[in-house]
Amino acid sequence: MLRLDALSVDFDERFQLHDINWTIRPGEHWLIAGANGSGKSALAAVLAGDGAHLSGTLSGAPDRVALVSYERQAELIETERRKDDADILDVISEGTPVAEIIDTVCQDPDLAQALIDTLGLQPLMGRAFRKLSTGETRKVMLIRALTSRPDLLVLDEPFDGLDRDSLAWLQGHLSVLAETTPLVIVLNRFDECPDFITHIAYVEDGHLLHCVERDDERAYAELYHLLHLKTSELEIPKADPAARLPALDPDEPLVRLTGAAVRYTDNTVFEDLDWTIEANQSWQLSGPNGSGKTCLLSLITGDHPQCYVNDIVAFGFQRGTGESIWQIKQYIGYVSTALQWEYRVGTGLRNVIISGFFDSIGLYTKSTDTQKAIADEWLALLGMSERADEPFNSLSYGDQRLVLIARAMVKHPPLLILDEPCLGLDDMNRQLVLALVERIAASSETAVLYVNHRERDRLPGIDNHLTLSDNTDGWQS
pLDDT computed for residue 244 by the predictor: 83
pLDDT computed for residue 408 by the predictor: 92
Return all residues near 385 (Cβ < 8 A) that are at least 6 apart: 376, 379
Q: For the chain, first and last CA: distance in Å?
A: 50
pLDDT, tens digit only, all 477 positions of the chain: 899 999 999 998 778 999 999 999 999 999 999 877 889 999 999 999 999 999 999 999 999 999 999 888 888 888 887 776 555 555 556 788 999 999 999 999 999 999 999 888 999 999 888 888 877 888 899 999 999 999 999 999 888 877 778 888 889 999 999 999 999 999 887 778 899 999 999 998 899 999 999 999 888 888 888 888 887 777 888 988 887 888 899 889 999 999 999 988 888 888 899 999 999 999 999 887 778 888 899 999 988 888 889 999 999 999 888 888 888 889 999 998 878 888 777 889 999 999 998 888 878 888 899 999 999 999 998 888 999 999 988 888 888 889 999 999 999 999 999 988 887 777 778 888 888 888 888 887 899 999 887 655 677 778 899 988 765 445 555
241-476 CATH: 3.40.50.300
pLDDT computed for residue 423 by the predictor: 78
DSSP structure class, residue 244: P
Q: Report helix angle 134-146 to 70-85, nearest 10.
A: 100
Beta bridge partners of 416: 333, 448
Contact 51, 41 (CB under 8 A): no
**Closest residue by Cα to residue 99 from 135, 66, 120, 129:** 129
- In our burial notation (b when 16+ CB lie closer than 10 A, e otherwise), range 103-129 reads eebbeeeeebebbbebbebeebeebbb
Q: How many residues does the chain have?
A: 477
3-state secondary structure of 271: strand
pLDDT computed for residue 473 by the predictor: 46
Please state, in angstroms and as integers, the Cα–Cα distance from residue 274 to each residue in 110, 331, 343, following that order: 76, 21, 34
Would you state the CATH architecture of domain 2-231? 3-Layer(aba) Sandwich (3.40)
* CA–CA dist 453, 292 (Å, integer): 11
Backbone angles phi, psi at 453, to 5 degrees: -125, 5
* CA–CA dist 240, 250 (Å, integer): 20
H runs (alpha helix) in 148-262: 164-177, 217-231
User: Which regions of the chain carry the CATH code 3.40.50.300?
Assistant: 2-231, 241-476
* CA–CA dist 418, 9 (Å, integer): 37
Q: Report helix angle 109-118 to 164-177, nearest 10.
A: 150
- Integer-rounded Cα Rg, in Å, for the chain is 28
Q: What is the DSSP string of 11-44?
A: ETTTEEEEEEEEEE-TT--EEEE-STTSSHHHHH
Q: What is the pTM of this model?
A: 0.72
